[in-house]
Amino acid sequence: MGNDSSKEVEDSTNSEEVAEFLDENPRFLAEYIERNPHLLDNYVFANVDEATVKGWLDKVKAPSPAAILQPLKIDYQKPKNTAAHRTDKYIHNSLVVRRAERFSIDIYFKNRAYLPAKDTVALEFSIGTSPKYANGTKIRCPVKETLQGSKWGCMLAGQDDATQKISVDVNIPADAIIGRYKLTVEVTSELETGMKTERTTKPDIIVIFNPFSPTDNCYMENSADRDEYVLNDTGKIYFGQWYRIGGKDWLFGQFEEGILDIALKLLRKDSRAIKNPEKSLKKRASPAYCSRVLSAMVNCNDDDGIIWGNWSGDYADGKSPTSWSGSVQIMKQWNETNEAVKYGQCWVFSGVLTTALRALGIPARSITNYRSAHDTEYNMTIDKFIGEDGEETNFTSDSIWNFHVWNEGWFRRPDLPKGYDGWQAVDATPQEESSGIMQCGPAPVKAVQKGEIYIGTDTNFLFGEVNADVVWWSVDAGGEVTGMLKRDKRDVGKRISTKAVGSDEREDVTKYYKFEEDTPEERTAFERAYAHGRKADYHDKFVIKEEGAMQIDITTGGDTMNGKPISVKIVVNNTTKENRDVIVTTVMHTLLNNENRCAFIKRDKREVAIAAGQANEQDIVLAFGEYGHRLVDENVIRVTTTARVKQTNNLYVDTFDLQVDSPPGVLTIECADTFLRREYSEISFTITNPLPITLTDGVFTIVGSGVTNGKTVKANGPIGPGETFKSQPVEVYPYRSGRTYLYADFDATEFKNVKAAKAIRVE
């Protein structure tokens, strides 16, 4: 019995191998029968009836045509195919289809009907500048009776002699290279004078990834997730402070005219594609490869990429990063000028990368990490240094960004061990080089959580961003490290955020990047990553001095609204059993998002006596005149307080990033709630100056999906304190029906990053 079962399995396996061989070698059977004609005779005698034979004879007797079959046109059935492939939102002249799926076309002939016995039709798809059959960049598909789902193929789906057309179904395999394919129709006819072949080039088709098909590596099972991460062209990018989170409305616009072509252009202009076009082209079947290339090309540091990063606070020769509200205008400007767009910071890089990934069919989202570490030494710690004067010194380039925005793409990782499919972190913001290029990822989020920094690409850097320890050191006048002041295991990686599926609410995804703080799982992950890091020698040389411990707490004393006085409360608590004389120094600077200090605002230094077990409280008030004209970008003020105990000379430090808020509701969008498609409409803006100073050089900007990629209008004159100003109308031309959003921005010399949004309907 066992031997019979084994034989059945063996026979089944052999049958499958034979079937696969015949599929891969369609001419083999014909050649074999030509050598052994008796086999065909035997088959016909045993299996074919008289009616079938008569049909064969009728076809053979039909006279050969006088002229070769000539294609007239191809109907790409765009509405039908794009609806089936969920690509109907793309504004594009070419047919956009997804791999791992079939599409249908009709081929019309101009001189006669298609004769199956005399005519052979084949479709040839080629991609790249030098396509070859050998490497899969050129594919020839004869029109057959059947299709094989795992391969390129064409099947005759119907014939209408009255209109001289044939209907053909085309199958695109799940591992197809994504990009623009040239389509050539090849016709061979058996004529009275012999065989003749002609080839005709037809309009291109564009193939993208398919998150709707289980066989594609980008497959996303949940339909609501696909609606959000593939089909939604608007969203939110989070910013601000971990204790006061804000959301920027962002127009991704992946379906807008030209955006898909720009995303494909980025893949072609990457340095790897220029150096080795054939190798790079073949790798474009992989979403992991495409996401890494796009992370490099969205910034311009090593190539002709899209965005010029600037964290200086000076944007006079470009646009402030805070003024952007969407990706489309940025990408189109780059495409038209062939120059990097000035300027962007992390949320701009992330917004554009989300657009490019979604345009290619890769599910993607923007991720905001609060208290995001930038570990330049890859030692899993952020080392901060305090000098003898209580000022922070730039002893290393380590920093902690108030927030940092990167991306996640959703795809399988057949290149990695099992268990790392799903969300993959990629980052286009230029921070540290990876393989000699400013690029980052893809790093499996699951590997980041576990501290497995050797899995994926740049996982070590991502782990440091969300779970590094912050270590404060004291340095003497000569720059020598003299001791460890503080080690904070909970400061980095807070409230990691993204837009929730199907709503404008925030989803907290911290638990996917790190285990809960101070749990055994979290410390195990840290130790695993730390063991693979590069430690400086002083890491093992010093321990924290516990003697004379002082606890510092910095909070705001109330309202932090721009234009008003701001109060900062400093509390120094003496936790020892001894009275202490303490020198408390508080220094305030305006701060850029990447922790670069810009303008000095204020220093407060005082010596206080703090009894055992007691605390000293100080209120430091900042007048608008002290901070208003020094604010940059995200309106952040860094407060650093040190406490030096005179009896022990021990130094203690803490920092607090104060967010200065813009008054709500000062900017409004004025327009009708409903626009008519392909008819001009007007939009105007109203702003009320909330500051005690005059606003000058004001500029309003508006973007809206399916409405406009970007329009600006200047304020015609200064806007005094408390004054309300209404702009001249901006004319727009809506070109896509449905519900959408308008996003407005206002920037003046004295008051920037003012946003407003309005929902409208286009009918």
Q: What is the mean pLDDT of residues 474-498?
A: 86
Separation in Å, CA 644 to CA 261, 608, 640: 60, 10, 13
Distance separating alpha carbons of residues 635 and 659, to the nearest angstrom: 6
State the pLDDT confidence band at 748, using cuts at 50, 70 and 90. very high
59-70 confidence digits (pLDDT tens) = 555 667 889 999
CATH number, domain with residue 651: 2.60.40.10
Last residue of a domain, one of 616, 634, 659: 659
281-336 confidence digits (pLDDT tens) = 999 999 999 999 999 999 999 889 999 999 988 899 999 999 999 999 999 999 99
Show which residues are catalytic.
346, 404, 427
The residue among 477, 494, 475, 495 whose CA lies nearest residue 485 is 475
Count other C-beta atoms under 10 Å from residue 341's C-beta.
22
Contact call for residues 425 and 408 (beta carbons, < 8 A): yes
Does residue 544 lie in a domain region?
no
Residue with tokens 């009728």: 58
Q: Indicate whether 419 and 559 sit together in one domain.
A: no
pLDDT at 1: 45
Encoded tokens for 655? 């920092």
Residue with tokens 């503080």: 486
pLDDT at 600: 92
Q: 111 by DSSP, 3-state: which?
A: coil
Contact call for residues 360 and 340 (beta carbons, < 8 A): no
Q: Indicate whether 643 and 530 sit together in one domain.
A: no
Q: 383 by DSSP, 3-state: which?
A: strand
pLDDT at 517: 86
Distance separating alpha carbons of residues 497 and 368, to the nearest angstrom: 5
Last residue of a domain, one of 607, 642, 659: 659
Q: Indicate whether 520 and 615 sit together in one domain.
A: no
Q: Is the pLDDT of residue 656 over 50?
A: yes
Distance separating alpha carbons of residues 95 and 114, to the nearest angstrom: 25
395-430 confidence digits (pLDDT tens) = 777 888 999 999 999 999 999 999 999 999 999 999
544-569 confidence digits (pLDDT tens) = 555 458 899 999 977 899 999 999 99
Separation in Å, CA 679 to CA 88, 728, 762: 22, 19, 10
Residue with tokens 């402030």: 320
pLDDT above 70 covers what percent of the chain? 93
Distance separating alpha carbons of residues 678 and 668, to the nearest angstrom: 25
Residue with tokens 């782990």: 463
Does residue 477 lie in a domain region?
yes
- Provide the pairing of β-strand 754-762 with 674-675: parallel
Q: Indicate whether 256 and 107 sit together in one domain.
A: no
Does residue 52 lie in a domain region?
no
Q: Indicate whether 298 and 371 sit together in one domain.
A: yes
Most confident option among 118-127, 518-527, 730-739:
118-127
Does residue 139 lie in a domain region?
yes
Which domain, by its residues, includes 723?
A: 667-762
pLDDT above 90 covers what percent of the chain? 71
Q: Indicate whether 171 and 89 sit together in one domain.
A: yes
pLDDT at 547: 47
195-249 confidence digits (pLDDT tens) = 999 999 999 999 999 999 999 999 999 999 999 999 999 999 999 999 889 999 9
Q: Which helix (H) or strand (E) holds 330?
A: helix 328-337
352-368 confidence digits (pLDDT tens) = 999 999 999 999 999 99
Say if residue 574 is exposed, middle or buried (CB neighbours under 10 Å; 0-12, 13-18, 19+): buried
Q: When comparing pLDDT for 231 and 379, which is higher? A: 231
Q: Indicate whether 192 and 261 sit together in one domain.
A: no
Contact call for residues 691 and 628 (beta carbons, < 8 A): yes
Kindly state the DSSP code that residue 629 receives in the 8-state scheme: G
Q: Say which residues have a Cβ less than 8 Å from residue 715's Cβ, sequence separation at least 6.
A: 687, 695, 697, 698, 699, 700, 725, 727, 748
714-734 confidence digits (pLDDT tens) = 998 899 999 999 999 999 999
Q: Indicate whether 655 and 673 sit together in one domain.
A: no
The residue among 395, 349, 404 whose CA lies nearest residue 374 is 404
pLDDT at 630: 92
pLDDT at 624: 94
pLDDT at 541: 60
Encoded tokens for 642? 């040190």
Q: Is the pLDDT of residue 621 over 80?
A: yes
pLDDT at 4: 54
Q: Indicate whether 252 and 384 sit together in one domain.
A: yes
pLDDT at 507: 97
Does residue 708 lie in a domain region?
yes
Q: Is the pLDDT of residue 125 over 50?
A: yes
Residue with tokens 């492939």: 85
pTM exceeding the 0.95 threshold for the entire prediction: no
Last residue of a domain, one of 509, 534, 559: 534
pLDDT at 545: 53
- Provide the pairing of β-strand 194-208 with 95-98: parallel
pLDDT at 662: 86
Residue-averaged pLDDT of the chain: 90
Distance separating alpha carbons of residues 103 and 172, to the nearest angstrom: 8
Count other C-beta atoms under 10 Å from residue 82's C-beta.
20
Does residue 396 lie in a domain region?
yes
Encoded tokens for 67? 């002229």
Contact call for residues 167 and 252 (beta carbons, < 8 A): no
Q: 178 by DSSP, 3-state: which?
A: coil
Q: What is the mean pLDDT of residues 130-153?
A: 92
15-52 confidence digits (pLDDT tens) = 667 766 776 676 677 778 777 777 877 887 778 887 77
Does residue 541 lie in a domain region?
no
- 117-119-121 Cα angle (round to 5): 130
Q: Indicate whether 501 and 583 sit together in one domain.
A: no
Query: Sign (positive/negative) of CA torsion 665, 670, 674, 677?
Result: negative
pLDDT at 9: 45
Does residue 54 lie in a domain region?
no
Distance separating alpha carbons of residues 469 and 539, to the nearest angstrom: 12
What is the three-state SS of 226-277?
A: HHHHHHCCEEEEEEEECCEEEEEEEECCCCCCCHHHHHHHHHHHCHHHHHCH
Count structural domains, the chain. 5
pLDDT at 35: 74
Q: Indicate whether 77 and 138 sit together in one domain.
A: yes
CATH number, domain with residue 483: 3.90.260.10
pLDDT at 7: 52
Q: Indicate whether 456 and 324 sit together in one domain.
A: yes
pLDDT at 700: 95
Kindly state the DSSP code that residue 601 receives in the 8-state scheme: E
